Structure 1
Amino acid sequence: MLMLIIFAALIAMICLNVPIAVALAVSGVLGLLISEGPDSLVSIALDMYDGSTKFSLIAIPMFVLAGAIMNAGGVTDRLINFVSALIGFVKGGLAMVNIGVSLFFAEISGSAVADVAALGSILIPQMKKRGYSAPLAAAVTSSSASLAIIIPPSIPMILYATSANTSVEQLFVAGVVPGLLGAFGLMFVAYLFARRYNLPVEEAFNLRRLRRTFVEALPAFTLPVIILGGIFGGFVTATEAAGLAVIAAFVVGLWYRQIDLRHLKRAMLDGGMQTAVVMLLVAASVLMGGFLTRAQMPQELAAAILDFTDNKYVILLILNFFFLVIGFFLHSAAAIILVVPIVIPLISAAGIDPVHFGLVVTLNLAIGQQTPPVASVLITSCAVARANIWAVSKVNVYFVAVLLVVLLMCTYIPAIPMFLVEYFYR
């Protein structure tokens, strides 16, 4: 009965537009107060502080800062020029460029919203000038930005690893192949749209221009090499790689002599606010997590589902559906922090690899970023494109279908995400 009261209070506060972090903290305090009395609240401030200062979480502001420096330092422009020279000759080439640059940008920022804000403001106006409808331009930008939470480094993966007490580095490695599959799938759908609407080719393939733009972008290519090479090679942890990414992004920006300090300041402030929201969620989740653990809810949930079925693939199907629904209403950080600690005992009991499950969760939440009513990435893209969210959603459904296919493949063919993990770590 107590659990029902606490969750009813949590849902009611969320429906009243109370910030999720505040709703979580209030519900957790209420649960502890009713079940254990006022004495249980003595150490909550220290518990919240300890929960939000874990070493792995330092990577979040570092990757956000690296993305801000990269965008302010002219790195994004060089990447766009190179990808345009590489694949711009294909029909609908600018859509391909959009997806391709997101692939590179994802390897530095780890944030889909940052991806849309950085690339959308540059590419969406250009796409509209070349005959792309505003809904199509927004849909391509929004769906490709979700690669930022599939391809390492990924902020949701860092949060999952912290919540599930598993390896951030292995999660990053597991995201590489699914991210590439998603990128190629999105490009295929974009090509079909280009054929249907007779969208233009950017320019003929020119080997000389490709060589020139490659040389110009070469310093920028050192960033993913430093991040991924360091992690894959076992030289640095994910947090240490984030610090190196900041230094490398700053050095590359100085090399290009194009750092826009005003842009950098604004991006850093936005990144700081984004990080503060995530950290507040983490801190608030400690209270709710403490209450749920003492109430034995995760263990009871695991026992109930295992009584229904012990087939791990059926369990994954149930959890996929659950996370897809959760993604409609919660941001990825809130969904991970609220739900993952509850289902981890079930995952362990069913014999599901926590790294494999972490990739499945991340893909679900990437889809959630594209599905209203919350759809933070989709809304950001619509704002940049000045397009109606429902008109964009009608186009975006085809790109979301690609992400769903990748999700099903990764869920039921574990070798797809786990092949590289097995190769490097096991």
Structure 2
Amino acid sequence: MFLGLVGLILLNVPIAVSLGIVAMGAMSWSGGFDSLLNSAIVMFSGATSFPLLAIPLFILAGAIMNSSSLSRRLIAFASALFGFVKGGLAMINIGTSMFFAEISGSAVADVAAMGSILIPAMKKKGYPKEFAAAITSSSATLAVIIPPSIPMILYAVMADASVVQIFVAGIIPGILGGGGMMALAWWYAKKYNYPVEEVFNWKRVKSTFKDAAWAFLLPLIILGGIFGGVVTATEGAALAVLAALFIGGVIYRELDWKHLYAAMMDGAMQTATVMLLVAASALLGVYLTEQQMPQQLAAWISGLTSDRTAVLMILNVFFLIIGLFLHSAAAIILVVPIVMPLVHKVGIDPVHFGLIVTLNLGIGQQTPPVASVLMASCSIAKADMWAVTRVNLPFIGVLLAVLMLVTYVPAVPMSLVQLFYR
């Protein structure tokens, strides 16, 4: 089944369609064509889980705010804050990505919003286009680590884990990843003499902060409501849409009907891509459950080793390889239900494991041949993907270091979870 799926993907068949073909082929082979009678109901049920409603809402909130010049305001504030540092534009790129991550939850949306502004600006200032594309791509991956995160929501649904606790677990690793990338960017700037953007001016910091103040309220509304237990993640996403409409249309007065229509169309297309994957994978999930393949896999690996550290190493390698070929949503939907019996059997905390999965697949967004985020960044920069990948390797190294820290020092991601929820 896996070889068939990879073969179809290599033939450029869309991943959702490939999942559906493989699932229906396996079901008809083992149970005859009668086993396909409930396929439509299974797909519909798999795509209509209440927590999944948060995905289109977060996507829409990000699209609306992007249509309301949020990107420009955030970049102006980050420029005033970090522009005096050597290689200031690179710092601005990372800092803005960290903030935008608290709104969109999508790395591709981050690249689309920030890359279209910052990559041309970096090229104009003399940064190599490969470096500009690499730092934009890698920093965008922070959007799947810092809450709210669409891959985290998908994982929580598939693993029957707490969305809120996984969100909290991502805060410290996200900050560590952003700090590590900033340190690496500063080293590059010193080595290659990249320019200082502007002299630090406290008045400019205050004026740009005031201009973006309403935008800063959005993460407070989303994360404050969720972490405070006032709303669920899905309700927080709905509040984010309402807040985005109010800020963009009433406060900034830059969201007209034309921009709202474009944001809604963009959000609908992104949502359709994810939800079609969810629906198709529901078929495969039913077949795998009926055949008890997850339990068989758990028993097989447990027969090799019952050491939790060794199992985590095996799963890390497995997800890193999967990330080379599958979109993060597809990988979560396809693989997480299969490995969860093993995770429970060796005593790994599902919340801890959720962050490990998210980080692995975030790295997969940077590693060809699929590398959805890297390709989006290269497209904006008009740079060769393999040339950008060579420059991107040290930034991928930062993400790998965070992954190892998260995997083998559970206190790093779980300390806040333990403090607030356990």
Is TM (by shorter chain) over 0.5?
yes
3-state SS in 1 of match to 2:199: coil
* In the alignment, structure 1 residue 304 sits paired with structure 2 residue 300: yes
CA apart distance, 1:266: 3.1
The CA distance in 2 between the partners of 1:267 and 1:329, in whole Å, is 29
Residue 401 of structure 1 corresponds to which residue in structure 2? 397
* In the alignment, structure 1 residue 69 sits paired with structure 2 residue 60: no
Residue 113 of structure 1 corresponds to which residue in structure 2? 108
The CA distance in 2 between the partners of 1:146 and 1:279, in whole Å, is 21
Residue 265 of structure 1 corresponds to which residue in structure 2? 261
CA apart distance, 1:412: 0.3
Determine if contact 1:72/1:260 at 8 Å carries over to the other structure: no
* One-letter identity of the residue aligned with 1:314: A
3-state SS in 2 of match to 1:193: helix
Residue 279 of structure 2 corresponds to which residue in structure 1? 283
The CA distance in 1 between the partners of 2:2 and 2:391, in whole Å, is 36
* In the alignment, structure 1 residue 103 sits paired with structure 2 residue 110: no
CA apart distance, 1:258: 1.8
* In the alignment, structure 1 residue 382 sits paired with structure 2 residue 378: yes
* One-letter identity of the residue aligned with 1:62: L
Per-residue CA distance 1:176-234 (angstroms, 9 max, x = gap): 11000000001011101111111111111111111111111111111010111111111
Residue 288 of structure 2 corresponds to which residue in structure 1? 292
Determine if contact 2:63/2:266 at 8 Å carries over to the other structure: no
Q: Which residues in structure 2 correspond to 1:196-215 (within 5 Å)?
A: 196-215=191-210
Q: Which residues in structure 2 correspond to 1:231-380 (within 5 Å)?
A: 231-253=226-248, 254-259=250-255, 261-380=257-376
Residue 157 of structure 1 corresponds to which residue in structure 2? 152
Residue 38 of structure 2 corresponds to which residue in structure 1? 43
Residue 21 of structure 1 corresponds to which residue in structure 2? 16
Per-residue CA distance 1:141-183 (angstroms, 9 max, x = gap): 0000000100111111111111111111111111111000000
The CA distance in 2 between the partners of 1:421 and 1:120, in whole Å, is 33
The CA distance in 2 between the partners of 1:356 and 1:260, in whole Å, is 42
CA apart distance, 1:136: 0.5
Residue 79 of structure 2 corresponds to which residue in structure 1? 84
Per-residue CA distance 1:303-327 (angstroms, 9 max, x = gap): 1111111111110100000100111
* In the alignment, structure 1 residue 126 sits paired with structure 2 residue 117: no
Structure 1 gap segments, 5+ residues each = 1-5
Query: Which of 187, 196, 204 is equivalent to 1:192?
Result: 187
* One-letter identity of the residue aligned with 2:242: I
CA apart distance, 1:264: 4.2
The CA distance in 1 between the partners of 2:366 and 2:192, in whole Å, is 23
The 1:8/1:376 distance shift into structure 2, 3 A limit, reads: closer
Determine if contact 2:82/2:88 at 8 Å carries over to the other structure: yes
3-state SS in 2 of match to 1:240: helix
The 1:190/1:32 distance shift into structure 2, 3 A limit, reads: same
3-state SS in 2 of match to 1:319: helix
* In the alignment, structure 1 residue 174 sits paired with structure 2 residue 157: no
Residue 391 of structure 1 corresponds to which residue in structure 2? 387
* One-letter identity of the residue aligned with 2:48: T
3-state SS in 1 of match to 2:367: coil
Residue 52 of structure 2 corresponds to which residue in structure 1? 57
CA apart distance, 1:42: 2.0
The 1:325/1:418 distance shift into structure 2, 3 A limit, reads: same
The CA distance in 2 between the partners of 1:325 and 1:255, in whole Å, is 46
Structure 2 gap segments, 5+ residues each = none
* One-letter identity of the residue aligned with 1:108: I
Residue 417 of structure 1 corresponds to which residue in structure 2? 413
CA apart distance, 1:252: 1.2
Per-residue CA distance 1:313-368 (angstroms, 9 max, x = gap): 11010000010011111110111111111100000001000110000000001100
CA apart distance, 1:261: 4.6
* One-letter identity of the residue aligned with 2:132: A
3-state SS in 1 of match to 2:194: coil
3-state SS in 2 of match to 1:57: helix
3-state SS in 2 of match to 1:204: coil
Determine if contact 1:73/1:260 at 8 Å carries over to the other structure: no
CA apart distance, 1:38: 2.9
* One-letter identity of the residue aligned with 1:322: F
3-state SS in 1 of match to 2:366: coil
Residue 3 of structure 1 corresponds to which residue in structure 2? none
CA apart distance, 1:268: 2.9
Determine if contact 2:151/2:329 at 8 Å carries over to the other structure: yes
The CA distance in 2 between the partners of 1:73 and 1:159, in whole Å, is 28
CA apart distance, 1:20: 1.5
3-state SS in 1 of match to 2:196: coil
* One-letter identity of the residue aligned with 2:404: L
* One-letter identity of the residue aligned with 2:419: Y
3-state SS in 1 of match to 2:416: helix
Determine if contact 1:137/1:385 at 8 Å carries over to the other structure: yes
The 1:8/1:133 distance shift into structure 2, 3 A limit, reads: closer
CA apart distance, 1:7: 3.4
* One-letter identity of the residue aligned with 1:364: N
Residue 132 of structure 2 corresponds to which residue in structure 1? 137
CA apart distance, 1:109: 0.5
The CA distance in 1 between the partners of 2:374 and 2:133, in whole Å, is 8
Aligned length: 421
Determine if contact 1:108/1:223 at 8 Å carries over to the other structure: yes
The 1:123/1:30 distance shift into structure 2, 3 A limit, reads: same
* One-letter identity of the residue aligned with 1:357: F
